[in-house]
Amino acid sequence: MPFPSPADAKPVADRIWNRITILDSGCWAWPSPSKVDGYCRVWIGSHSDGSRRLVLAHRLSYVTFEGEIPDGLELDHTCQNRACVNPDHLEPVTRQENIRRRDARRVSALAGKISA
């Protein structure tokens, strides 16, 4: 198989559309999330110029449809579904804000368990 393969030449947006399943929640579910951290990763670039690399699918989707992620910011899944790559469900936030939101969600989940 010669490099770059036809798959490499295919526009990234098409590759995203071809792989996702749109859920009732509006989430764009990427197949096969990592069993370790729940995030999805995808190979991009080409072997021939050495640009081939594994990237986080939600970051790739955001950059493809929304534009660059501001320097130093992380993408928060506002839907809390790490396998989701819908750019509308991704919000660039600081690391500090991402941690604050994660902790707040944990507290409310815990409160839900206690009251259940």
Binding site for Zn ion (CB under 5 A): 27, 79, 81, 84, 86, 89
CA triplet 97, 103, 106: central angle to 5 degrees? 145
CA dihedral 83, 89, 92, 94 (to 10 degrees): -70
Give the nearer residue to Zn ion in terms of CB position, either 47 or 59: 59
CB of 41 to Zn ion, least distance (A): 17
Give the nearer residue to Zn ion in terms of CB position, either 79 or 93: 79
CB of 49 to Zn ion, least distance (A): 33
3-state helix, strand, coil in the chain (%, to 5): 40, 20, 45
- Indicate the DSSP class of residue 84: B
CB of 103 to Zn ion, least distance (A): 20
Give the nearer residue to Zn ion in terms of CB position, either 12 or 79: 79
H or E element in which residue 91 lies? strand 90-93
CB of 17 to Zn ion, least distance (A): 16
